[in-house]
Amino acid sequence: MIHIDPVASGAARRKTHVWPATPVWSATTASRGWWIVLLLWWAGWFLAQHHQGGASWHFFSDGARVLSDLDDGRHAGLHVYAEHPVLQIGPVALGTAWVLATLSDSNGVLAAQVLGAALGGVIVLLVRHMAHQLQASHPSAQRLNVDRQLLLAAACFVPVWSYVAVSSTHLDDVLALTMGMAALALVVSRHPVGAGFAVALAVDSKPWALPLAAVLLALPSLRDRTMALCVVALGVAAVWLPFFIADPQTIRAMHFTIANSPLSGLRALDVMSPRTPAWDRPLQTVLGAGLAIAAVLRGRTTGVLLVVMASRLALDPSTNHYYTAGLAVGALLWDVTGSRRRWPWWSLTVLLVLHGARWVPALNPVHGLALIAFALAAAVFVAVGKF
């Protein structure tokens, strides 16, 4: 297993950068052809989904329009969340949607789809970069063929990511997951300010990303950890506080609830409330943060994203298809940098059991149980045990 050890030796702590022996863009002649196949696989999914895609883009276009309407001093601009609590989208995501619509001559949905697909590629490259960094810094660790592992896991990742980035076009989740992955990469590279800034951008895109701040505890010194956490606090406050100051009713967005789906993990746990229970969101945050901290303390920092997303989905009242994208990102990273298995079983499970099975109505009754089982497995194997 390759992992980040939070109690590394003094000599290791003094190394400020650990660069991979193989650059992130290089590939062997044998694997180069498979990378081309992966790109074609990715292009095929994009072309298949983008014409009928953009199902959720209206939330972003409407929110961006209201946010940018500075002439309406009471109902728009900084009042956007007070007037439209249904917009569970961070300001960074709304601002990005406005920029995309402006630069693309109002064809924002296509621009967002292209951006989302491209950021999926960035995630794959970041995973490869981290895998080589960790191998270089742990020469005695069991070595697997990184490219082989990555290609197999990425083949599973692409269909799931294409759904969130192209079919549903949930820009906020795309940005939050990308920034979360960037934060992990910056922690591995010992860049506390950059890592803190990436976590702040993730939270400013989608508030559920807050537990990802736990990855900053893997930084090698108390000074680095403190600096990174301060950057997160300043970054989140700078983006969110203006809305609360301009309109205290912005807090309405924090109390907005959604229906408790019959397919959810909550229903499987016999929580029959018709809408989101008041304790649910706080519990998701606390549980995700607790599991993330446990993973860091166990030296399995690259499993943080997997346990945070798995615990969130197990307790979420909704079961939208695009939710599994977070699991796919976490599984991709863990399969390549943490799991000891030669096959990407986590990524395969996400693709087949949690994502693909949603198109088989006969399996709907067991979806909630599958989410809970996956979350328990992630907690045991990543934060507690070995796999």
Q: What are the pLDDT digits (tens) for 193-242?
A: 999 999 999 999 999 999 999 999 999 999 999 999 999 999 999 999 99
The answer to whether residue 19 is domain-embedded is no
Region for 106 from its dihedrals, namely left if φ exceeds 0, alpha if ψ lies in -120 to 50, beta otherwise: left
Domain tally, the chain: 1
Whole-angstrom Cα distance, residue 342 to residue 18? 25
* pLDDT for 72 beyond 90: no
The answer to whether residue 338 is domain-embedded is yes
In single-letter form, the type of residue at position 345 comes to W
Which band of pLDDT confidence, cut at 50, 70 and 90, is reported for residue 386? low
Q: Which domain holds residue 367?
A: 48-384
Mean pLDDT, residues 300-324 taken together: 96
Sign of the four-CA dihedral 267, 273, 277, 281: positive
- Nearest alpha carbon to residue 202 among 218, 189, 184: 184
Mean pLDDT, residues 247-272 taken together: 93
The answer to whether residue 34 is domain-embedded is no
For the CA atoms of 317, 318, 319, 324, the dihedral, rounded to the nearest 10 degrees, stands at: -90
Which tens digits make up the pLDDT trace of 8-61? 333 334 333 333 333 333 445 456 788 899 999 999 999 999 888 899 999 999
* pLDDT for 97 beyond 70: yes
The answer to whether residue 290 is domain-embedded is yes
The answer to whether residue 233 is domain-embedded is yes
Instruction: Let me know: does 136 contact 21? Beta carbons within 8 Å.
Output: yes
